[in-house]
């Protein structure tokens, strides 16, 4: 006797399972099997090059390396400006700070005379030489030794030495159009002390700038959070037509450094 046929019934509220369409391999890229997607994987957005993300470089703490050194090394290895400087032939990421300042304030002009105070390792000298051309002149000074920068004259001497300003002027052979100072004293971790030290260096750089700049010249100096203050700011506003503070994107976000940019030197 034939058994009666019964239709299976779904419980109330349960949806009918969907049939998955079979992928036509011939229509996939290069005819390869498509990658299976799960809830843990999200497809890259169309046209999103950022989807090809580079993994951060991890640095292990070496036996005789301090934690601070390890953190610095990790920051360097994962810094996009460091990688870019290496790829484009600049000696340091600082080169992009000057490039940004120049783009905003039009500091580097063809045929200009430029002085770079605290020039090691030479990134700013490289930018200046390229910008001013063969008819210009770049003179740098630093107590740290550094390889030759083609097109620049480098004086290996502490700028704070008594004879340094006169030796720089002898190399220049005439008034300067731009004085740059990226000098920075070793930090102590005490904010007020570090600020006073950097302002003292900026004042020494300004003393020199006021002595060598041609009328209409410009002065750029590193300062810390709080910027140029007190007597330094008063001198800048007195002797230059325009004084502004700027923090280039190439400066690390956690850094307190800024730059004071003074243009339109009124002359001595």
Active site residues: 222
Closest by CA to 263, choosing from 213, 200, 227, is 213
Q: What's the CA gap between 164 and 144, in Å, rounded?
A: 14
With beta carbons less than 8 A apart as the criterion, state whether 255 and 184 touch. Answer: no
Number of Cβ within a 10 Å radius of residue 228:
26
67-104 core/surface letters (b: 16 or more CB in 10 A; e: else):
eeeeeeebeeeeeebeeebeeeebbbbbbbbbbbbbee
> Which backbone phi and psi does 264 adopt, to 5 degrees?
75, 55
Tokens 């290496």 belong to which residue?
86
With beta carbons less than 8 A apart as the criterion, state whether 262 and 245 touch. Answer: no
> Which backbone phi and psi does 213 adopt, to 5 degrees?
-70, 140
Cis peptide before 228 (omega within 30 of 0): no
Q: What's the CA gap between 124 and 187, in Å, rounded?
A: 22
Tokens 């923090």 belong to which residue?
247
Q: 130: burial class by Cβ within 10 Å (0-12, 13-18, 19+)?
A: middle
């Amino acid at each position: 006797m034939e058994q009666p046929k019964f239709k299976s019934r779904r419980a109330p509220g349960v949806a009918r399972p969907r049939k998955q369409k079979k992928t036509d391999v011939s229509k996939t890229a290069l005819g390869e099997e498509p990658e299976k997607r799960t809830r843990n994987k999200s497809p890259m957005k169309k046209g999103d090059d950022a989807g090809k993300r580079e993994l951060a470089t991890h640095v292990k703490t070496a036996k005789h390396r301090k934690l601070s050194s390890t953190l610095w090394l990790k920051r360097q290895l994962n810094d996009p400006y460091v990688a870019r400087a290496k790829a484009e032939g600049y000696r340091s990421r600082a080169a992009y700070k000057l490039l940004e300042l120049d783009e905003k304030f039009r500091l580097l002009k063809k045929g200009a005379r430029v002085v770079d105070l605290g020039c090691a390792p030479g990134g700013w000298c490289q930018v200046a030489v390229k910008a001013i051309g063969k008819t210009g002149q770049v003179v740098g000074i630093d107590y740290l030794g550094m390889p030759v920068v083609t097109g620049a004259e480098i004086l290996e001497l502490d700028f704070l030495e008594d004879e340094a300003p006169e030796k720089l002027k002898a190399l220049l052979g005439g008034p300067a159009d731009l004085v740059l100072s990226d000098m920075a004293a070793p930090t102590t971790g005490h904010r007020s002390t570090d600020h006073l030290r950097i302002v003292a260096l900026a004042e020494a750089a300004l003393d020199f700038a006021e002595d060598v700049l041609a009328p209409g010249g410009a002065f750029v100096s590193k300062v810390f959070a709080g910027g140029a203050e007190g007597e330094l700011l008063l001198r800048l506003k007195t002797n230059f037509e325009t004084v502004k503070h700027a923090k280039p994107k190439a400066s690390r976000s956690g850094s307190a450094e800024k730059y004071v940019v003074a243009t339109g030197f009124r002359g001595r």
